[in-house]
Amino acid sequence: MNLKVGLLGGGSWGTTVASLVARNAPITLWARNADTVTEINQQHRNSKYLGDATLPERLRASTDIQETVADADVVVMAIPSQNFRLVLEEVKQHVRPWVPIVSLTKGLELDTRMRMTEVINDVLPGHPVGVLTGPNLAREIMAGQAAASVIAMADKVILAELQKLFKSGLFRVYTNDDVVGCELGGVLKNIIAIAVGMGDGQGAGDNTRAALITRGLAEVTRLGVAMGGRPETFAGLAGMGDMIATCTSPQSRNRHVGIELAQGRTMEAIAADMFMVAEGAKSAPAVMALAEEFGVEMPIARDVYRVLNGECTARGIYKGLLRVDPGAEHEPG
Ligand SMILES: NC(=O)C1=CN([C@@H]2O[C@H](COP(=O)(O)OP(=O)(O)OC[C@H]3O[C@@H](n4cnc5c(N)ncnc54)[C@H](O)[C@@H]3O)[C@@H](O)[C@H]2O)C=CC1
Ligand SMILES: O=C(CO)COP(=O)(O)O
């Protein structure tokens, strides 16, 4: 393709998506760490985040954020949610006016409770905004395993071009015009993955895991629909698909947080040992505030939030769940 792409964020997912896009179009990956940039350009690796996976030789990295976006026809954001606005503000003056901006990020801004596409609208009003999301664990995709994803945007013409840009070989990209639903599917499943990790870390069985995933998807769907997403989106790749991948994969950072919480460790201690982001832990307070604002009950997310805050232990929560009498299946609780 003739489109030039600038991708911001040299972590696991940014580097993986940049490697996929490099098959279709010229791309520059901006990373703030000069060693990462040198390693990508000279050794075609990003060993800190992706081990010994080989990156395409066509993938070029840069520490110069202005150079990365100034002539880009598409800008892709792979910056964790709490630093997303900061980086957008930095590039704002260099991005051309009509350029589409695509978020890869699965979190909410803590202070404002905004989704990342809302943050983009806030900082760069008037740009077409989209999100790429789905069951996409970075290392598996780098290993060449088949995966499916969803690109969501309101403008169907640009959406079709973006689908061509991101899809390749075994990476299948579907389109969806439900930006709110797709984005919230990716954000909200992270908290349920922490809950599943808390169960797995205490030796929960397969039936227990299935119950948590199913009840978790129900509460995620309730909030997502209340906020304007479409119910069917939550039964698709961005909802159920990502829920299954994140809640069951040993590669998931959010599930890992849950497993560590189950050992009685505090979130502070767990975060100190992690160099990668676990968005569910960061976004939990914003999610609880939104649940309250929209009058939606989210019992599993609320319990995760209480454990993250140190209000109770993972073991205490598990016992508490068993004490609650179940009601009708399609009601909260
Ligand atoms: N890793 C995965 O499998 C997937 C991750 N995601 C989402 O993608 C987003 C990014 O995640 P990962 O790349 O996995 O995280 P990561 O923890 O592997 O890397 C984050 C990167 O962002 C950079 N960064 C953080 N703050 C920055 C700032 N202020 N300026 C410049 N760079 C900054 C870090 O240096 C690091 O390179 C998250 O929202 C995550 O939920 C989505 C799908 C799959
Ligand atoms: O979103 C992801 C997979 O789709 C990655 O999940 P984790 O951030 O929990 O690793």
Q: Mind spelling out the 3-state secondary structure of 92-151?
A: HHHCCCCCCEEECCCCECCCCCCEHHHHHHHHCCCCCEEEEECCCCHHHHHCCCCEEEEE
| Residues annotated catalytic, as ranges | 189
List pLDDT tens digits, range 36-48. Answer: 999 999 999 999 9
CATH of the domain at 276: 1.10.1040.10
Confidence of residue 2 (pLDDT cuts 50, 70, 90): confident
**Ligand 1 nearest-atom number relative to CA 104:** 8
Give me the pLDDT at residue 318, please. 74
- Would you say residue 328 has pLDDT above 90? no
Of 152, 177, 202, the position where a domain reaches its end is 177
Strands 147-153 and 74-77: unpaired
Top mutation candidate among 105, 242, 256 for ligand 2, by most atoms within 8 Å of CB: 242
CA atoms of 227 and 41, how far apart (whole Å): 42
For residues 269-284, average pLDDT: 95
Top mutation candidate among 277, 279, 283, 287 for ligand 1, by most atoms within 8 Å of CB: 277
For residues 298-313, average pLDDT: 96
Q: Are residues 309 and 207 in the same domain?
A: yes
**Ligand 2 nearest-atom number relative to CA 133:** 4
- By residue range, what is the domain housing residue 234? 181-323
For residues 6-16, average pLDDT: 98
Q: Are residues 167 and 200 in the same domain?
A: no
For residues 256-269, average pLDDT: 97
- Would you say residue 323 has pLDDT above 90? no
Question: Could you tell me the two tokens for 200?
Answer: 């797995």
List pLDDT tens digits, range 20-75. Answer: 999 999 999 999 999 999 999 999 999 999 999 999 999 999 999 999 999 999 99
Confidence of residue 270 (pLDDT cuts 50, 70, 90): very high
The answer as to whether 333 is a domain residue is no
What value of ipTM does the predicted structure carry?
A: 0.99
CB-based pocket (< 6 A), ligand 1: 9-14, 31-33, 49, 78-81, 83, 86-87, 104-107, 136-138, 276-277, 279
Q: Are residues 152 and 201 in the same domain?
A: no
Task: Please list, in sequence order, all residues whose beta carbon lies within 8 angstroms of the beta carbon of residue 45, skipping any fewer than 6 positions away.
Answer: 39, 52, 53, 54, 55
Whose tokens are 């179940």? That residue is 326
Ligand closest to 104 (CA) is 1
Task: Reduce the DSSP state of residue 300 to 3 states and report it.
Answer: helix
- Would you say residue 79 has pLDDT above 80? yes
Ligand closest to 189 (CA) is 2
DSSP state of 326: P
Give me the pLDDT at residue 33, please. 97
For residues 304-319, average pLDDT: 91
CB-based pocket (< 6 A), ligand 2: 106, 135-137, 190, 193, 242, 245-246, 252-254, 279
- Would you say residue 320 has pLDDT above 80? no
Tell me what the pLDDT averaged over the chain comes to: 96
CATH of the domain at 28: 3.40.50.720
CA atoms of 264 and 276, how far apart (whole Å): 21
Global pTM exceeds 0.95: yes
More confident residue, 326 or 135: 135
Q: Are residues 224 and 173 in the same domain?
A: no
Q: Which of 90-99, 148-157, 234-243, 313-322 has the lowest mean pLDDT?
A: 313-322
- Would you say residue 324 has pLDDT above 70? no
Question: Could you tell me the two tokens for 84?
Answer: 């997303």
Confidence of residue 155 (pLDDT cuts 50, 70, 90): very high
Q: Are residues 189 and 120 in the same domain?
A: no
The answer as to whether 25 is a domain residue is yes
Of 177, 208, 236, the position where a domain reaches its end is 177
- Would you say residue 130 has pLDDT above 70? yes
Confidence of residue 304 (pLDDT cuts 50, 70, 90): very high
The answer as to whether 332 is a domain residue is no
Report which of 67, 66, 108 is spatially closest to residue 84, judged by C-alpha positions: 108
List pLDDT tens digits, range 173-199. Answer: 999 999 999 999 999 999 999 999 999
- Would you say residue 168 has pLDDT above 90? yes
- Would you say residue 321 has pLDDT above 70? no
Structural domain tally of the chain? 2
Give me the pLDDT at residue 322, please. 62
